[in-house]
Chains A and B, each alone.
Chain A
Amino acid sequence: MRPFRYQHAPDIGSAVSALAEAPEAAYLAGGTNLVDLMKLEVAVPDLLVDVRELTSDRIEAHPDFVRIGAAVTNSALAADPVIRRRFPMLSQAVLSGASGQLRNLATTGGNLLQRTRCPYFQDLNTPCNKREPGTGCSAREGFQRDHAILGASEACIATHPSDMAVALAALDAVVNTEGPRGPRAIPLVDLHRLPGDEPERDTVLEHGELITSVDVPQLDFATNSRYRKARDRASFAFALVSVAAAVDTADGVVRDVRLALGGVAHKPWRATDAEAALRGAEASVEEFRRAADAELAGARPLPGNEFKIPLARNMIVGVLSELSGVPR
């Protein structure tokens, strides 16, 4: 690991200023991804500013939204009774990620900012445009099983690893930040970027912009929601494909729906085309399949991840059927 300085900041403003003056500095929260990347020397900050005590570790329930402090641990979020009652898919998504030990350390803000687990990104001996822009993408000619089928570019086919973010994307969550240019509120679906020709930038955040909380707007039918994850082992593995969905049906018709996919893109993938196809449609396996196909029509798989198209289609149909009470 490269040498670095470590400091606490007395308040958020001081933390933001500290990073503004240090272009190679980083914030430290749970550290479960950052410390690992520092050991690998994929991340080489010269200063860590510890922000664990600067942002809230509380979940505040309001009638119109729930505010999750950035320092809320993954375990506390998943176990929270309000989250479990109002947004079951969010609790399920968090519990389907990492291990008990990691969820006790990992925070809400850090979870959103974790880096891809693409093996080439983590291996200093291989080219990677995300780690070292301009060197090329090893995954395009290599191991592609975990990689993106939607929204990828010539430069990068990495996926975003978070499960939590997929549920938050479906729920229209908003990320609150404090940065060098003051506070702002970013819709979660706009926080993460598609790779384009700048895959080194995972998010739209500026250097030194700190996530302070995440707001989840009230959505009554989210009580009928589900997160399902397919992976290569039964527990403690990243998603091949995951589906977060909430459905509101009446008289056999889909009145409203929220749908997002994980494991398929550089960002949590809000399935807007499928949602548009579903609203007002009959709640049936045929319509669910049609909606899934509408979303997956833009998929551009590589030989190593073609299987993700039928997998995603079947998972979308399965989750929507379950939530709508439609027999398969």
Chain B
Amino acid sequence: MDTEITLVVDGVEHSLVVDTRTTVLDALRERLGITSPKKGCDQGQCGACTLLLGDRRVNSCLMLAVAYDGANLRTADGLADADMHPLQRAFIEHDAFQCGYCTPGQVVSAVGMMQEMREGEPSAVTADAAELSDEVRERMSGNLCRCGAYANMIPAIVEVAQR
């Protein structure tokens, strides 16, 4: 069942015809050649496909493209302008990745997470969190890293969140 849709990705408008079964993730990667969102589990469990929908982080592998006609999406590519995004720089400075496959999703998720914190949205640990790193660990639990680079990722995100 083919349907014509428009997606605005990192400020650029794309029109394309998709089968109703196409996810936003597959539309970006396979149809538009936008490969910074990664396909990890394809089940909403690993977070490698995380995008910003408006300013909210979401799993693009569980979004049917036909249901997001006209959506404004941002990927890790679109976070940087002339300079890298502070979180991208912090990931490099803290050596916060090994193979790098989950990194774009981690960075986008961290951007969304910091926005949620700025808006005063609580997490499951907000009442008990002694340290900002406790909050970051809980709020980033939707992003997995098979290399186990969390030990450097958490300080990278904490450093930017404290600025």
Residues of A within 8 A of B (CB): 1, 3-6, 28, 31-32, 35-36, 39, 48, 50, 52, 75, 78-79, 84, 91-92, 95-96, 98-102, 104-105, 234-236
Contacts and interface: CB of A to CB of B under 8 A. Distances in A.
A31 B113 contact: no
Contact of A1 (B3, B21, B141): B21
Contact of A79 (B47, B57, B122): B122
B20 A4 contact: yes
Interface of B: 1, 3, 19-21, 23, 42-45, 47, 50, 53, 56-59, 62-64, 66-67, 109, 112-113, 116, 119-124, 137-143
Contacts of A96: 124
Contacts of B140: 100
B42 A39 contact: yes
Nearest to B42: A39
B150 to A, nearest CB: 12
Given A92-B124, A95-B123, A28 B1 contact: no
B58 A35 contact: no
Given A1-B21, A6-B1, A6-B20, A99 B141 contact: yes
17 contacts: A3-B19, A3-B21, A4-B21, A5-B20, A6-B67, A32-B44, A48-B20, A78-B121, A79-B122, A91-B122, A100-B113, A100-B139, A101-B44, A101-B57, A105-B58, A236-B45, A236-B142
Contacts of B42: 39
Of residues A36, A79, A100, A234, which shows the largest number of chain B Cβ atoms within 10 Å of its Cβ? A100
A242 to B, nearest CB: 12
Contacts of A4: 1, 20-21
A31 B67 contact: yes
B66 A104 contact: no
B14 to A, nearest CB: 19
B105 to A, nearest CB: 9
Contact of A101 (B19, B21, B109, B123): B109
B67 A52 contact: yes
B56 A104 contact: yes
Closest 3 CB pairs of A and B: A99-B142, A235-B141, A236-B141
Nearest to B59: A101
B138 A235 contact: yes
A28 B3 CA distance: 17
Nearest to B124: A95
Given A104-B57, A105-B62, A75 B116 contact: yes
B127 to A, nearest CB: 8
Nearest to B21: A1
A96 B20 CA distance: 32
Nearest to A29: B67
Of residues B62, B64, B120, which shows the largest number of chain A Cβ atoms within 10 Å of its Cβ? B62
Contact of A36 (B3, B20, B44, B142): B44
